[in-house]
Structure 1
Amino acid sequence: MTLRFTVDARDGGTAARAGTISTERGTLRTPAFMPVGTAATVKGVWPEQLREMGYGCILGNTYHLYLRPGHERIRGLGGLHRFMGWDRLILTDSGGFQVFSLSALRKVSDEAVTFRSHLDGSAHTVTPELAVEVQEALGSDVRMALDECVEYPTGRGEVEEAVRRTTLWATRSLAARAFEGGGMFGIVQGGMFPDLRRRSVEEICALPFQGFAIGGVSVGEGKELQRETVAGTAPMLPASLPRYLMGVGTPADIYFAIARGVDLFDCVLPTRNARNGMMFTSAGPVSIKQARYADDPLPPDERCDCPTCRGFSRAYLRHLYLQREMLGSMAMTVHNLHFYARMMRRAREAISRGNFGELVKESVVSENE
């Protein structure tokens, strides 16, 4: 596999590091946030806007693209990059989390996951091999091995079974590869049991993946347990390869994980919150639904230079939201993604200076929970 990772700088007072992921398609500076493009689009923004913000990688959702429009159709149209007009990196998940979320519609065995589509009720069987085949048909640059994610709380016996099955599927995923470009990441599970997390790390990290992900968090465990799990798991992952925290994405959670040595993040939070009228700002969150913004002539964030803040007032955005005008969702999405891009850029710069810990103390990310 041709994915390479280099650590370019380390922070003086934390485990944070700045690095570069290199593939045939291009490079990605880390730590990096990946906007979620569930159905071959990051909702509300053009690819060109994402490039202008500085994003180098987006996440595509294997489960949704497999169901609609279908991976073979996308392959026939030149792959996911051409299909969606995005020329930078794409990471595809394996679909494991989406299948996990369909608990009432699925059945899990060592061989495969069987489930019914949330779209039309049709029956499907996904094996580790099929998950790899779909991702290779999409042509993503980084692919994820199929894993079994369990919710919190789940009993120890069931979590232990998920760890065993995740290792089995990881081995099969690696054996199923037909495409040698890019890279494949393995996913660590183990619930909130430290010893099972360690076991999963030992088993998954013994396999020849090009990066490793912390999975199975943000599944109902609450902030304290989530952070304990991230803090305990991240240092056990190989320091020479990328570390990816899946699906965790408040600004404070991201900075917490960066300080523990995590390199990659994805979350629907900036885009989903925007569609629900919430913006991240340098002074804390702004919920545009609140009546106090009805006559507010100020931009969402006076310290932001994004197109939304340059052009629109809070009063106007509130009007758009109440009218359910699509421009409102688009404008607030642009702002939130600018906020995240700036947040990650500041993190990389602070790590390069060796003072990331000072940035965490001085920033308002904790106010944007």
Structure 2
Amino acid sequence: MTAEDIKQSKDFQNPVCMRDIEEAAHSIHEVGRVTPLIQSMFLSRNIAHGEVYLKLENMQLTGSFKFRGAFNKINHLSDAEKARGVITASAGNHAQGVALTSHLLGIDSVVIMPHGAPIAKQEATAGYGAKVILHGDNFDEAHQFMEEEAERKGYTIVDPYNDVDVIAGQGSIGLEILDQMWDVDTVIVPVGGGGLISGIATALKSFNPNIHIVGVQSENVHGMTASYEANKLTTYSKGKTLADGTAVATPGDITFPITKNLVDEMVLVNEEEIAKAMKDLLQRTKTVAEGAGALPTAALEAKKIDSKWLNHKKVVALVSGGNVDLEQVSKNIDHFLVTTNHSVG
């Protein structure tokens, strides 16, 4: 794929359309939840000087938006594909979506998770009935092993992001946002492999091309941002991140062109900014967010988004998931308590 192939152009053809997303939303809503959209007075008054709303996907089944894409993908499989059993690779949230969907539909599932995946996500995935295998030090290594296992044993792959049915499922969030606030101005979305923002951007831009869409990633792992800036698929990873759910070094070849053509900007936040956003969401808005789910709030608090897209605007910041280990929550609280005490002293 060359830069010429994926540049912003009227020739761009999105493999996902509104009809796909509407059909996905219909099937997902038969079993899943329409998640709340609530205003954060803290972010509205103190940070953005507009109306900031949180789309609480941490209240979706399995505690993450990932249930949507997993359900839509598996629901579209043929009987033969279902009979072979499904396999996926995930740091945890997609894993739980696949595991719960497989349980609901009576399908065997195998999930490859990297070593170091949060214990809470490992236990929840196994609790839904999936066979959990730990392999590799990061998502990309787990993903490669998943492909090898699928080839060896005949499993049907349920990719966590680079799949049109998964993208359509995640796009159902965009439809819900429009149902809840049709005149939204700016939407801020966490980004890993790109399935979430591709689906949401497709839904929102189909309705109103003027909605400003911002993707947020960690400075430590941001393959999509690097690709977005280079105008070609690019790998970027320099360490671990609190936003483990978005720790994808190389985005998908399906999600990248959609993101490049429909997303208005990509911004990066550092680990301290992510940790602070997690703390503030818990303390100020009573919302439990994992690192990936806190990325949009981190971008707002760190002033990474131009005020012209925020001031006097209706802004939606997506809290994509809340599956965080209690140990990590405790560390965050202790860290900021120590910082506060030192600053006071």
Give the TM-score of the pair, scaled to structure 1: 0.29
From the CA coordinates, give the structure whose radius of gyration is larger.
1
TM-score under structure 2 normalisation?
0.31
More helix by share: 2
Higher fraction of strand = 1
